[in-house]
Amino acid sequence: MEVKKPTIKSIPYEDFKNNEYLENMVKQLNESGTKVLVGCLDDLINWGRSNSLWPLTFATSCCGIEFMAVGAARYDFARFGFEVARASPRQADFVMVAGTIVHRMAPVLKRLYDQLAEPKYVVAVGGCAVSGGPFKNSYHVLKGVDEILPVDVYIPGCPPRPEAMFYGLMQLQRKVKVEKFFGGVNRQEKREKVFGK
């Protein structure tokens, strides 16, 4: 069997119409003794990552009660892979900011976020974390957690229903599933461009 160096321009368009081309190539390689696994490794890794996201809870007010309801038996977010709610940022995948963030609490939240391992995500839960809520005109309240952290998913409501929290967490799962694990632009580089170092 002759091995050719493929280039994108030399591959005929007809070869991309279906999977027969790949199946024939795998068959030829298997006949010659080469073991081949066909599939997208990014999809496999992101499937595992998206179905085992562990939240770091950071609840400062009433949205924290809704988060507890989501973790309790009636709603049970363990079905979706969010089972292990961590109290340590070194063991969590994303921080779930639920409640009002005052200026005095902002450095603590930023420190916890910095201690999360990459890739890390932020979910803003409730009106207070999203935009300051009813306290947005107060001098001591952040007008949204996005002033100090790059937020990936916003879950509005005052407080949001458990169903809304499920929807937001599933949006985070969808976001993780389409990320590039190998290649592409590093997530950290993108954040440094937006938020500085």
Residue 125 in this model has a pLDDT that exceeds 80: yes
Complete domains list, the chain, with CATH: 1-38 (no CATH), 50-168 (3.40.50.12280)
SS3 31: helix
Cα(35)–Cα(27) distance, integer angstroms: 10
Q: pLDDT (tens digit, 9 = 90+) per residue, 146-187? A: 888 888 889 888 888 888 888 888 888 888 877 766 555 545
Would you say 129 and 101 are in contact if contact means Cβ atoms under 8 Å apart?
Answer: yes
Residue 85 in this model has a pLDDT that exceeds 80: no
Would you say 95 and 172 are in contact if contact means Cβ atoms under 8 Å apart?
Answer: no
pLDDT tier at 38, thresholds 50, 70, 90? very low
Among 1-15, 79-93, 136-150, the range scoring the smallest mean pLDDT is 1-15
Helix, strand, coil percent values for the chain (each to nearest 5) = 45, 10, 45
Name 92's Cβ contacts closer than 8 Å, sequence gap at least 6.
54, 55, 56, 86, 116
Q: pLDDT (tens digit, 9 = 90+) per residue, 6-21? A: 444 555 555 555 556 6
The predicted model gives 118-133 an average pLDDT of 86
